[in-house]
Structure 1
């Protein structure tokens, strides 16, 4: 049972969000080959990281790429300096993640960022992506409707497999599209290959990409990942996890990997009862998922090659469906506390606006504006108390 749970964890984790990762990497300037390299680097790095952490801790610790971080990239657009500047931002985010494990004060500073604002920023970043399936439905209904219909049916019957199933339908649609248009898949682009990009560093890329990527990854992946493990009675090895994911991000960045982190949603598959009744042996499920991810890495180039031949809007539709649940949770969390709603609303709207000042994207300004609004309103409410 742990072996089966581990394989399911990897399949669900990979297929449910790889479209988001590709959309994010392309949006910040990656070519198809560089995006394939990034997907490969991410899968290899967190696959190896899972093997190490689960074996050393004997706990079902699983890792993943930063899906919210990829969504952030998709909304940010290509930074000044292009793809090399984006790679520099990835590397900077990796250093910050590692420092969180090494320097407790940095972790405490992260904890002071209001959850409502971090979730509002994430929801604002996700909204344009989540609208994509319905925009595509208007422009290419015959191609997109089967994907959305499959997703809806599977959400009713087996929610965990809704996105993987819709991806399978999308791949079938792509295959049919290629066949009808007399195309063929280039055989020389099916094998995985890493492509090096020398990082470049700039203040706009660090402020507009690296910092929001770091914050979103910590707030939406690492901290929830710790909570998921705790809910099943396991203590996450915080310092080793931050060092491994930070180092993995740094090593993967020149090859196009944006960020890896503790798994959140898929973590429950390896830590729950699906992984067996013997809690002491559930780490085997996580270890197995690490091995399965290394196998899946071999298919990264083939997936990117096929997806690159997809009709316009189809990949974005799958990515949007994959993020609907995350966006709904982010909105609910952002608006849960009445006193936080104005600051969270300002953060959300600025993140959606796409505002860019001095080359720094909307995510940074959204969070900054939300903090200022929150501080002003909190100061006023405190002053009005008798």
Structure 2
């Protein structure tokens, strides 16, 4: 952690804050469908926090890149609707199966070869589309708390002129002070500061659950999470070790599935925060922001429900606004890269709009369809120019 700067600390903290607050409710829904006990629910949060933290630390330290990992948010949404009536042991068996498939995918190397086929313009357009909603969140949050969002935006504009390197830290500080002064923090919510303990569940493997839950969980994780994760790092100028990263997340899933770590993958949105210029002007040292995030993920996991309670007391406008402002530069640079080549402009625009649309067919999310539609347009335009 030597050489960690304030910008690293803030970027890592914002990434963790966003990672939890954006989808922790979906995790709770999946836990509730399974009828888990409170101890099992805490074990899930422990496994997920430690899994993200340790795997991200290992990859970031080894390759000196801001490689963040995350739980599969679309996977959690899938579990929330597919685990109805499934016993906990069989669900754990499906998680182990998903981890095995992820590990084999990483070891085989086929996914890395496929990722190299994606044109830079289409990848940048997809990232811009994924992050676009977070930029819009700044303005939609104005309806919830206009004074708070206005203060944070004004702080952003002022800091960009005079203290550019500390823009996001100052924005976050301004938001926290405002909420503290106005009483916007919901202190009525209970917070349990007990240390979470792992609860092991012996997996039970049944063909129906493996095919009905484990296989779709693997497909969703690969298409909706790992593809954007790879593209995010490449759009920021890095060449991530794709196969190794998939292998590490697969092994992490295998080890932690019996405790509730249902699926891990490369992060996209939170990685964009740590891989962007707001984290560090020097791309070679941005990985330190990912190290901060990794440590915080482990702390959050160990504290179980305590930190989740702390996240929930903050107004959503604070979280959404600071995340949106932190991603503005990445959204801008991604859009520029997507549209700057006239030969790829139409394909990039189609990719961007498809991603923003949020469409989903056959359990596959918009990012993969965006790359498919954009690739079709790119090929059609190339054939037209060749005639």
TM-score (norm 2): 0.69
Q: Within 5 Å, give how 1:89-128 maps onto structure 2.
A: 98-99=103-104, 101-128=106-133
1:153 positional shift: 3.4
1:218 counterpart residue number: 230
1:14 counterpart residue number: 12
Structure 2 residue matching 1:352: 3-state secondary structure: helix
The reply on whether 1:48 has 2:64 as its aligned counterpart is: no
1:351 counterpart residue number: 355
Quick one: which of 137, 141, 144 aligns to 1:136? Answer: 141
Contact 2:68–2:290 (CA under 8 A) maintained in structure 1: no
1:40 positional shift: 5.4
2:35 counterpart residue number: none
Quick one: which of 352, 366, 370 aligns to 2:370? Answer: 366
Q: Deviations over 1:283-341 (max 9, x none)?
A: 99998986676456556744431331333533322332232222222212211321111
Q: Using a 3 Å threshold, how does the CA distance of structure 1 residues 180 and 377 change in structure 2: closer, same or farther?
A: closer
Distance, in Å, in 2 between the alignment partners of 1:9 and 1:143 is: 22
1:107 positional shift: 1.4
Contact 1:50–1:61 (CA under 8 A) maintained in structure 2: no
Contact 2:79–2:213 (CA under 8 A) maintained in structure 1: no
Q: Using a 3 Å threshold, how does the CA distance of structure 1 residues 264 and 318 change in structure 2: closer, same or farther?
A: closer
1:215 positional shift: 0.5
Structure 2 residue matching 1:259: 3-state secondary structure: strand
1:345 positional shift: 0.8
Q: Deviations over 1:237-273 (max 9, x none)?
A: 7765443244235556743665346967747989969
Distance, in Å, in 2 between the alignment partners of 1:103 and 1:329 is: 33
Structure 2 residue matching 1:112: 3-state secondary structure: coil
Q: Using a 3 Å threshold, how does the CA distance of structure 1 residues 122 and 224 change in structure 2: closer, same or farther?
A: closer
1:89 positional shift: 11
Q: Within 5 Å, give how 1:19-30 maps onto structure 2.
A: 19-26=17-24, 28=26, 30=28
Distance, in Å, in 1 between the alignment partners of 2:44 and 2:333 is: 27
1:18 positional shift: 2.3
1:279 counterpart residue number: none
Moved more, 342-351 or 89-98: 89-98
Q: Using a 3 Å threshold, how does the CA distance of structure 1 residues 22 and 51 change in structure 2: closer, same or farther?
A: closer
Distance, in Å, in 2 between the alignment partners of 1:319 and 1:250 is: 31
Unaligned ranges ≥5, structure 1: 231-235, 276-281
Distance, in Å, in 1 between the alignment partners of 2:157 and 2:304 is: 27
Q: Within 5 Å, give how 1:299-338 maps onto structure 2.
A: 301-338=305-342
Contact 1:29–1:82 (CA under 8 A) maintained in structure 2: no
Quick one: which of 373, 377, 380 aligns to 2:381? Answer: 377
Contact 1:94–1:246 (CA under 8 A) maintained in structure 2: yes
Distance, in Å, in 2 between the alignment partners of 1:91 and 1:333 is: 39
Distance, in Å, in 2 between the alignment partners of 1:91 and 1:336 is: 44
Distance, in Å, in 2 between the alignment partners of 1:137 and 1:346 is: 29
1:339 counterpart residue number: 343
1:152 counterpart residue number: 157
The reply on whether 1:255 has 2:298 as its aligned counterpart is: no
1:216 positional shift: 0.5
Structure 2 residue matching 1:17: 3-state secondary structure: helix
Distance, in Å, in 1 between the alignment partners of 2:95 and 2:324 is: 23
1:353 positional shift: 1.9
TM-score (norm 1): 0.69
1:342 positional shift: 0.7
Distance, in Å, in 2 between the alignment partners of 1:271 and 1:249 is: 33
Distance, in Å, in 1 between the alignment partners of 2:157 and 2:317 is: 19
Q: Using a 3 Å threshold, how does the CA distance of structure 1 residues 349 and 51 change in structure 2: closer, same or farther?
A: closer
Quick one: which of 171, 176, 179 aligns to 1:166? Answer: 171
Root mean square deviation of aligned Cα: 4.9
The reply on whether 1:82 has 2:86 as its aligned counterpart is: no
Distance, in Å, in 2 between the alignment partners of 1:196 and 1:170 is: 40
Distance, in Å, in 2 between the alignment partners of 1:314 and 1:193 is: 31
